[in-house]
Amino acid sequence: MKFYKDHYDVIVIGGALAGLSSALMLADKGLDVLVLERHNLPGGIATSFVRGGIEIEAALHEMMSIGPEGNRLKVGKFLEDMGVFVDWLKVPEAYHASLPGIEVTLHPGLETFAKEVDREVPGTYDKVLKLLNLCHTVFDSVNELSIHPMSKPMMLLKHEAFVKTAGYSTAEVMDTFDLPQKARDLLAPYWIYVGSGFKDLPFTIFAVLMADYIGYGSYIPHKFSHEISLKMAERAEAMGVQIEYRQHVEKILVKDGKVYGVRTARGDEIHADYVISAPYPNKVYTSMIEPISEVPEKALKMVNGRRLSLTAFSVIMILDKPAQELGIKDYSIFIGDTMDTDELYKDLAGLGPYRYLTCICHNYGNPDATPAGTCSFSITTLPRVDGWKTVTADEYDAVKHRVAEQMIDDMSKYYGVNLRDHILEIVIETPMTVAHYTGMWNGCIYGYAHTMEDHIVARLQTAHEEKFIEGLEFAGAHQISGDGMGPAVTNGRKAAKNVLDDIKAKKEAAAK
């Protein structure tokens, strides 16, 4: 029995947001694309599940780079250009911050946000707005330069703020604004989504994150992130992409430095000119390339020279009362006993208790999120993989429950309500859960850490030198734009663009 064509232009390994973005863009240019996804539905962690008849979001807190209808940002616009129309709902606030001496809800809009910070820390309006505007300028430059690279002198002329802040950490740039600690703390909570301490986090990353989230607000899909994944998959199939679920790719086949196909666990050998891989370069270069002798030493040094970033630990609950009755008042709340990000970063290398938590109550962004009389409430921390790597299968359940219990207790204390008296459904997602459903290397959903040694500006500068096998591209959080569902789409587009550029270059060379 034959299930595949003799040849495809491109095989995409992994049908999550990055891979599906690649597939959409390639199919849009008329290429013959096969997507192989190991799970039985698209999306990776951009998905949902059903417990006790209630659909529950698996991972998404809020999505950046979407923008309002009629004025979509990068990711929102790409999806619509591809014919993917998601029913986006605007998240009503930026976040509620509960930090030492701070209890405030902040809203998106650079000026609104600066005003709200000023209300808490009087006299800071101008400085905070100036910092946010700087973030916005850097954000605009990153967006433009990622599409239209230019010479260094030209960059300095046109993207001065971007160039001049590129060599500094978030702490170094923030220091020049001379803000009181409390104002700095109020600007820091989204930090958890990028996860290096401010002393090691490139300012460029902080700027992009702040400008996107604070400047434009964030969005969630009406029917959970499965709506995004499924609509992308459906659209891709309508455009002629073949998507096969439950196909686990074990090997990427290479000959004379060039990719020619893949082999699945089922034993199918499928041929293509290009392969786009969602599996981490760590996995690809250590166990997927066949023969392994095709992997150059430089590729191994590169993956060994990078540090894996964050994974996720979430306690997701359906509670048996409406949020208001339990004292839950906000869509998202960041809570911690310190906002010293360098301290917190160390904390994330362990196995709890975690001192900095993110809670989401989807009902405030999506009134249909749960049945009447109930609400959804999740508590998340984004630990580094280091601590979890030490947990054995026999310890796993006890560790998972200990960490989850601590998180529920912390939030119960905060609300003055024992949340455990209201749990209709509970799901504890761990790094192992991520590994189980997605096969992600060490359960790491956040790619490589953004650090001063692995800076996004450096990544952009040297990307062309990091291709070790012809025809092999990568799409996932491990790529230039990094982690998060929005960046996943951008990473997928970039992989597709690399394929399209290569095809074009080969055609031009052939014409000569």
Q: Which is nearer to other proteins, 147 or 156 (CB)?
A: 156
Cross-strand bridge partners of residue 271: 261
The CA distances from residue 465 to 285, 432, 461, 478, 490, in Å, are 16, 33, 9, 16, 20
Q: Least CB distance from residue 52 to other proteins, whole Å?
A: 8
Q: Which is nearer to other proteins, 25 or 163 (CB)?
A: 163
Q: Least CB distance from residue 104 to other proteins, whole Å?
A: 29
Q: Least CB distance from residue 8 to other proteins, whole Å?
A: 11
Q: Least CB distance from residue 390 to other proteins, whole Å?
A: 8
Q: Least CB distance from residue 204 to other proteins, whole Å?
A: 9
Q: Which is nearer to other proteins, 94 or 166 (CB)?
A: 166
* Of the candidates 437, 439, 336, 391, the residue with the CA atom closest to the CA atom of residue 96: 336
Q: Least CB distance from residue 150 to other proteins, whole Å?
A: 12
Q: Which is nearer to other proteins, 96 or 226 (CB)?
A: 226
- Three-class DSSP category at 203: helix
Q: Least CB distance from residue 485 to other proteins, whole Å?
A: 15
Query: Do strands 8-13 and 269-277 pair parallel, antiparallel, or not at all (unpaired)?
Result: parallel
Q: Least CB distance from residue 330 to other proteins, whole Å?
A: 23
Which DSSP category does 426 fall into? Answer: E
Q: Which is nearer to other proteins, 260 or 441 (CB)?
A: 441
CA of residue 303 relative to chain centroid, distance = 19
Q: Which is nearer to other proteins, 94 or 134 (CB)?
A: 134
Q: Which is nearer to other proteins, 102 or 161 (CB)?
A: 161
* Rounded Cα distance, 289 and 271, in Å: 14
Q: Which is nearer to other proteins, 97 or 284 (CB)?
A: 284
* Rounded Cα distance, 472 and 479, in Å: 13
* Rounded Cα distance, 356 and 422, in Å: 23
Look-up of token digits 């970033």:
309
- Three-class DSSP category at 170: helix
Q: Which is nearer to other proteins, 118 or 290 (CB)?
A: 290
* Rounded Cα distance, 311 and 440, in Å: 10
- Three-class DSSP category at 35: strand
How many other CB atoms are there within 10 angstroms of residue 126's CB atom? 10
- Strands (E) across 172-241 are located at 219-221
Look-up of token digits 């917190």:
344
Q: Which is nearer to other proteins, 120 or 320 (CB)?
A: 320
Q: Least CB distance from residue 271 to other proteins, whole Å?
A: 14
Q: Least CB distance from residue 116 to other proteins, whole Å?
A: 26
C-alpha torsion sign, points 153, 154, 157, 160? negative
Phi and psi at residue 405, in whole multiples of 5°? -60, -40
Cβ atoms of residues 28 and 38 within 8 Å: no
* Rounded Cα distance, 484 and 144, in Å: 20
